[in-house]
Chain A
Amino acid sequence: MPNLTPRIRVEVYIPIRYQPSYYNSLNWVIEEFTQLRGGCTVNENVGGYYLSRANKVIDDRVDVVYCDFPMDWNKQADRKEVLTYCATLKDFLFENLWEEEILICAYPVSHVREQFEPRLNTNILSVVHNS
């Protein structure tokens, strides 16, 4: 029987630019998430668009890196801790990238987990029970 395990997803949008600091920052976030949590996912070259002052739609592509922290959004302490973490990450990115705004999101997700060992052989259990 599956159950749902609460997680908090932290998602970072890193603009794609030619300057090395953008590529380095992407790698740094990947390294931080992987060492901190054991893994992360990257959606590369995702379409992003904004309206310029000249009223033109500008293509501004991004890499999206995300990682699910083993925390519960419904717990205020967990929420606060994640938001503090996001603030430090944002400060770091502002120091290293030329951007007016850097988007970092945090929101609740649920992972589907098997509550019991799914491939347990019930025949063996029955034999043990009867012996």
Chain B
Amino acid sequence: METKDTVGPQAPTPEKPAKKHLTDAEFRRHLKNISEWRQKRLAKPHTKDTG
């Protein structure tokens, strides 16, 4: 998983990377079609470990 320390250029500044703005409308649209959205946006879920 990426952390804020590994994302983007390593500029010598204590500032955090800017936060992406997500609208409430986008959120609701994705929530309505959550299964479809997961398949598109997320890494494929792993399978249960066998051992």
Contact = CB atoms under 8 A, between A and B. Distances in A.
A and B found bound together: yes
Interface of A: 19-21, 24, 27-28, 30-32, 35-39, 69-70, 81, 85, 88, 92, 95-98
Interface of B: 1, 19-22, 24, 27-28, 30-32, 34-35, 37-38, 41-43, 45-49
Contacts, number: 51
Contact of A36 (B1, B31, B49): B31
A28 B45 contact: yes
Given A37-B27, A38-B19, A96 B46 contact: yes
B48 A21 contact: yes
Given A19-B49, A38-B19, A88-B34, A28 B43 contact: yes
Contacts of A37: 22, 27
A95 B49 CA distance: 11
B46 A35 contact: no
A20 B51 CA distance: 10
Given A30-B1, A36-B30, A70 B42 contact: no
B47 to A, nearest CB: 8
B48 A95 contact: yes
A70 B27 contact: yes
Contact of B35 (A20, A28, A88): A88
Given A27-B1, A96-B48, 5 more contacts: A31-B42, A36-B37, A38-B22, A85-B34, A92-B45
B27 A28 contact: no
A38 B21 CA distance: 7
